């Protein structure tokens, strides 16, 4: 093995290594927390100067991570910077940047490629580079590797390269970075050895696979599995709605089977940084191999149709009350993509709001975790602040649409004071008084 390999392994074992993390978002920041807690210095990189200033002042911008945690991280050697010319300082650089889709549902690897170029400009012998951003198989080898080797250094000899998919689940207190098994695929044996040694410092169960492609494909499989099963129950919801059957009761009954069934739940559409996007990465690369991923495409069609289905239910419910959508006052409850978090990425709430506004509704929202709508890539025109829930305000609405089932919402209170509630999450299941005002959607 090279001297760089021996030196890096030793620095990881004695915790003198510095870990660099590019992208201090919902994936990168918890990862930085894990390494800092393990006594390893972390240098975090991000392009957002406001985020950098907050973190270096010991303040968090993610609700699930308290300020005290960031302050403790700072005391443990964590530093955030927007100076990418410092990428030669870390011994290992982990890339945790977004991988969105273009308007035509093709992979947008801009952030990954830009990160690779920034690393290449400062790459030195003995460094480990790990891509964590979800992407299609072959990205590490065919996209990242050529950029890193452009300066003359060779992977496996001069530096080390691996892929290890993030498995962050925002808002899930049951699991954390340090408790979820970490899949690692090195470009070569030495790269795999170094990457496994690094993650073993913070994760008790490192699952080594033979190549980066296997690790990349593993992550895509995990997310595609969820997307397809969610599409199945969404399609069942539409069918059972027409048949007058409660899909939630059906699922509750089915999940009593102790084998052969795992419960997935319908909703107003897919949200988050993984499930709505990642399967299309696989669809895209499949076409390069002359293969059509029909299940993925069909699941995408079903899931992307759900916001329109929900809006049609709102329209039908208003019509039953003798009102049209136009000029009706509609309150959306929840703009985060899942319950009890402040993450709005790809949230169906934005499409629901946009569709209702286009139909002429007067739309407001309330979300205890999102006091003001952030500027979204696909919905830059939606600018609004959360309206407090009072009996008077609820009573003034023509319809209240539950898009995200936050625990903080008092559903008895909401149903009591609202003239009409459209529930997309089965959030009002336990409400007994006023059930005649609730419509499932």
Catalytic annotation, residues: 274
Give me 394's structure tokens: 């609820």
- CA-nearest of 60, 25, 20, 49 to 36 is 20
Q: Are 212 and 186 in contact (CB under 8 A)?
A: yes
Dihedral (CA of 46, 26, 234, 435) sign? negative
Answer whether 245's CB lies under 8 Å from 254's CB.
no
Cα distances (angstroms) measured from residue 329 to each of 194, 294, 365, 393: 58, 40, 11, 10
Distance CA 435, CA 2 (A): 70
Return the beta strands (E) in 135-212 as ranges: 160-163, 182-186, 206-209
Q: Which residues pair with 18 in a beta bridge?
A: 41
Residue 42 pairs in a beta bridge with: 19
What's the distance, CA 314 to chain centroid? 28
**Residue pointed to by tokens 């035509």:** 104
Task: Report how far residue 213's alpha carbon sits from residue 209's, in angstroms, rounded to the nearest whole number.
Answer: 9
The Cα diameter of the chain in Å comes to: 78
Selection from 9, 1, 19, 21 nearest residue 158 by Cα: 1
Task: List the structure tokens of 34.
Answer: 């894990």
- Per the CB < 8 A criterion, the answer to whether 20 and 93 are in contact is yes
Residue whose C-alpha is closest to residue 397's, from 427, 358, 345, 356: 356
Conformational region of residue 162, where left means phi above 0, alpha means psi within -120 to 50, and beta covers everything else: beta
Distance CA 236, CA 257 (A): 18
| Structural contact between residues 303 and 231, judged by C-beta atoms closer than 8 angstroms | yes
């Amino acid at each position: 093995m090279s001297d760089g390999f021996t030196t890096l392994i030793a620095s990881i074992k004695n915790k003198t290594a510095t870990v660099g993390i590019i992208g201090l978002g919902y994936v990168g920041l918890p990862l930085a927390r894990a390494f800092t807690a393990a006594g390893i210095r972390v240098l975090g990189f991000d392009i957002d100067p406001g985020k950098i200033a907050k973190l270096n002042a010991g303040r968090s911008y993610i609700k699930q991570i308290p300020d005290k945690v960031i302050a403790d991280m700072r005391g443990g050697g964590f530093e955030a910077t927007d100076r990418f010319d410092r990428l030669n300082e870390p011994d290992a650089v982990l890339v945790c940047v977004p991988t969105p889709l273009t308007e035509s549902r093709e992979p947008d690897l801009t952030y990954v490629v830009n990160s690779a170029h920034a690393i290449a400009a400062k790459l030195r012998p003995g460094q480990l580079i790990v891509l964590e951003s979800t992407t299609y198989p072959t990205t590490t080898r065919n996209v990242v590797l050529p950029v890193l080797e452009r300066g003359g250094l060779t992977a496996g000899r001069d530096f080390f390269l691996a892929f290890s998919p993030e498995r962050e689940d925002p808002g899930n207190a049951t699991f954390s970075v340090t408790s979820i098994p970490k899949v690692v695929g090195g470009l070569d044996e030495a790269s795999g050895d170094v990457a496994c040694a690094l993650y073993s410092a913070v994760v008790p169960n490192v699952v080594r696979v033979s190549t980066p492609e296997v690790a990349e494909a593993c992550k895509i499989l995990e997310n595609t599995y969820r997307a397809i099963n969610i599409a199945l129950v969404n399609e069942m919801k539409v069918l059972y709605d027409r048949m007058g059957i409660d899909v939630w009761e059906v699922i509750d009954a089915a999940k009593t089977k102790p084998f052969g069934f795992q419960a997935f739940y319908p909703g107003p559409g897919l949200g988050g940084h993984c499930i709505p996007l990642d399967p299309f990465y696989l669809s895209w690369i499949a076409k390069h191999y002359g293969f059509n991923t029909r299940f993925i495409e069909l699941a995408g069609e079903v899931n992307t149709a759900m916001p329109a289905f929900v809006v049609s239910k709102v329209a039908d419910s208003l019509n039953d009350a003798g009102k049209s959508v136009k000029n009706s006052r509609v309150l959306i409850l929840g703009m985060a993509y899942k319950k009890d978090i402040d993450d709005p990425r790809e949230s169906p709430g934005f499409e629901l709001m946009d569709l209702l506004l286009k139909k002429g509704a007067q739309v407001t929202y309330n979300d205890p975790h999102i006091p003001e709508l952030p500027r979204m890539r696909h919905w830059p025109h939606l600018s609004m602040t959360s309206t407090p829930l009072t009996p008077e305000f609820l009573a003034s609405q023509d319809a209240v649409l539950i898009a995200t089932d936050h625990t903080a919402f008092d559903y008895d209170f909401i149903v009591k004071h609202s003239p009409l509630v459209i529930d997309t999450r089965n959030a009002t299941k336990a409400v007994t008084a006023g059930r005649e005002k609730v419509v499932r959607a």
